[in-house]
């Protein structure tokens, strides 16, 4: 996940939420939060913790340098309505690992600097859902998570074998992961775990061991996602690892299905979930909606395709008579989701008369053909491979191809750049049924 460039270390207020406590008190944009209850606010976690009481004292530095003190009575956990210039308030912690599968180490040179930042910050796990390794935290910081009850927390485990984890992460502190998870479990923190699988390294028997260890910490550990390693063409000086093949992916799914049955019997939950890539690679049918148990790991691509398909079906059911739509549309996606999107288009076409939709799988020339997911498609690859479809009316792309808060691709081409190059309207769609159906209806 790409991180904003957090460099500001002052608690500068960027926005006041309308009708909030801060708004009523006359706190202004540009003011600086100095302290709460005479405690310095080091970061967003301190802030959330310190404002939870029903009575607090707040010190604010005004733009003219004056210090104003406020005594505030409020509901428990009611927010003050302050938005800071830097959402973390403090600098984000970078990752100290040198993982054998690290995607950032496989990026080409000369991309924007923020793409090369490796975050491993527990605050981002709490605020944004990022997964952290817990390798760059001392005991005081671990205890702070427990004391402040930062939950849910998302942890990149990869393996509970201490020696193997040290080797995979190239960090001597990586082997204590299970002891930390046990401390979290004892404190009743909710945890979601991620395992990036490298064929022949941490799958097979090692995966069985890891799942067995993690299941002993249920229900504190709520779910485990297994996702395949991503391999770009930029690995010349890195350890050689293999991508998943159809056979090894099928073997992995067999292992997951077997363990789901066991966990369902013993824990009342499937507990471990395979990411959509394994199903798309092998053409195995997706699990049913209810088998994802509330979709706890959507950010890891676990159940995203099932949820999307069900949403599309739901939206299409609202169309009682076919809609006349003489349009020619292109849906661009990664090669992995091509067959799935063809199925979606077939469902959509049944509800529209005269609609011509072409699904185009974009081969990833930028990162290499082993990268098959839509979210890593660049603007240049889109332009190069969609030139022959310039007689179509518009192109629909998943919004995951773009930066979270900007209409810009990974190679810094903008959505406008791509539209101009193709002389066509390029429309990003959320990976939601309603979003894509609404775009097609337009």
pLDDT tens string 295-331: 999 988 999 999 999 999 999 999 999 899 889 999 9
Does residue 194 contact residue 163 with C-beta atoms inside 8 Å?
A: no
Lowest mean pLDDT among 42-56, 283-297, 351-365, 419-433: 42-56
Does residue 357 contact residue 329 with C-beta atoms inside 8 Å?
A: yes
Does residue 396 contact residue 359 with C-beta atoms inside 8 Å?
A: no
Does residue 161 contact residue 201 with C-beta atoms inside 8 Å?
A: no
Digit-coded pLDDT (tens) for 222-248 = 999 999 998 889 888 788 898 999 999
Most confident of 64-68, 75-79, 120-124: 64-68
Is a pLDDT exceeding 80 seen at residue 415?
Answer: yes
Instruction: Give the three-class secondary structure for 395.
Output: strand
Q: Which residues contact 273 (CB under 8 A, 6 or more apart)?
A: 223, 224, 225, 226, 256, 292, 296, 297, 302, 303
Q: Which residues contact 337 (CB under 8 A, 6 or more apart)?
A: 280, 305, 361, 373, 374
User: What is the Cα–Cα distance from 69 to 323, expressed in whole angstroms?
Assistant: 62
Q: 317: exposed, middle or buried (C-beta count within 10 Å: 0-12, 13-18, 19+)?
A: exposed
Counting Cα atoms < 13 Å in the Cβ hemisphere of 61 gives: 9
Which CATH fold would you assign to the domain 13-84? Pdz3 Domain (2.30.42)
Is a pLDDT exceeding 50 seen at residue 385?
Answer: yes
Sketch the domain layout of the chain as residue ranges.
13-84, 104-301, 309-441
Percentage of the chain lying above the pLDDT 90 cut: 65
Q: What is the pTM of this model?
A: 0.80
In this chain, the answer to whether the domains covering 104-301 and 309-441 adopt an identical fold is no
Is a pLDDT exceeding 70 seen at residue 191?
Answer: yes
Residue 114: the pLDDT is 61
Name which CATH class applies to 309-441.
alpha beta
Most confident of 98-102, 124-128, 163-167: 163-167
Residue 76: the pLDDT is 81
Supply 48's token pair. Answer: 């959330």
Lowest mean pLDDT among 84-98, 115-129, 180-194, 288-302: 115-129
Residue 6: the pLDDT is 32
Average pLDDT for 82-88: 70
The continuous run of DSSP H or E covering 396 comes out as strand 394-398
pLDDT band at residue 105, thresholds of 50, 70 and 90? confident
Most confident of 111-120, 146-155, 306-315: 306-315
Q: Which residues contact 76 (CB under 8 A, 6 or more apart)?
A: 52, 53, 54
Most confident of 70-79, 109-118, 191-200: 191-200
Distance of CA 271 to the CA centre of its chain: 19
Q: Check: CATH 3.10.450.50 for 104-301?
A: no
Average pLDDT for 376-401: 95
User: What is the Cα–Cα distance from 442 to 427, expressed in whole angstroms?
Assistant: 11
């Amino acid at each position: 996940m790409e991180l904003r460039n957090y460099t500001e270390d002052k608690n500068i207020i960027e926005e006041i939420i309308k009708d909030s406590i801060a708004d009523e008190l006359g706190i202004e944009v540009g003011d600086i939060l100095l302290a709460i209850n005479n405690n310095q606010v080091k970061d967003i976690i301190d802030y959330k913790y310190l404002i939870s009481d029903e009575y607090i004292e707040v010190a604010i530095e005004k733009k003219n340098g004056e210090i104003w003190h406020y005594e505030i009575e409020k509901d428990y956990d009611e927010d003050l309505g302050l938005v800071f210039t830097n959402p973390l308030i403090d600098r984000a912690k970078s990752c100290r690992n040198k993982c054998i599968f690290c995607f950032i180490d496989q990026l080409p040179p000369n991309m924007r600097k923020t793409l090369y930042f490796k975050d491993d910050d527990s605050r981002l796990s709490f605020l944004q859902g990022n997964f952290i390794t817990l390798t760059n935290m001392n005991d005081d910081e671990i205890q702070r998570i427990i004391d402040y009850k930062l939950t849910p927390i998302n942890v990149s485990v990869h393996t509970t074998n201490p020696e193997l984890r040290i080797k995979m992460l190239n960090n001597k502190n990586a082997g204590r992961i299970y002891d930390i998870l046990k401390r979290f479990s004892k404190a009743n923190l909710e945890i979601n775990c991620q395992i990036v699988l490298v064929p022949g390294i941490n799958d097979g028997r090692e995966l069985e061991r890891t799942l067995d260890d993690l299941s002993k910490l249920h229900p504190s550990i709520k779910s485990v996602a297994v996702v395949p390693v991503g391999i770009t063409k930029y690995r010349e000086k890195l350890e050689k690892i293999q991508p998943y093949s159809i056979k090894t992916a099928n073997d992995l799914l067999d292992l997951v299905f077997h363990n789901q049955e066991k966990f369902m019997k013993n824990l009342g939950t499937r507990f471990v979930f395979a990411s959509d890539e394994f199903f798309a690679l092998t053409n195995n049918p997706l699990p049913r909606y209810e088998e994802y148990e509330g979709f706890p790991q959507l950010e890891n691509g676990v159940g995203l395709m099932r949820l999307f398909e069900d949403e599309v079906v739901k939206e299409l059911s609202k169309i009682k008579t076919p809609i006349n739509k003489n349009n020619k549309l292109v849906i661009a996606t990664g090669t992995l989701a091509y067959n799935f999107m063809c199925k979606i288009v077939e469902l959509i076409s049944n509800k529209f008369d005269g609609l011509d939709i072409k699904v185009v799988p974009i081969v990833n020339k930028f990162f290499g053909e082993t990268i098959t997911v839509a979210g890593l498609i660049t603007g240049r690859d889109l332009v190069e491979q969609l030139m022959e479809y310039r007689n179509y009316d518009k192109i629909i792309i998943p919004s995951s191809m773009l930066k979270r808060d900007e209409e810009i691709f990974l190679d810094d081409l903008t959505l406008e750049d791509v539209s101009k190059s193709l002389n066509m309207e390029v429309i990003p769609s959320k990976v939601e049924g309603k979003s894509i159906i609404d775009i097609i209806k337009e």
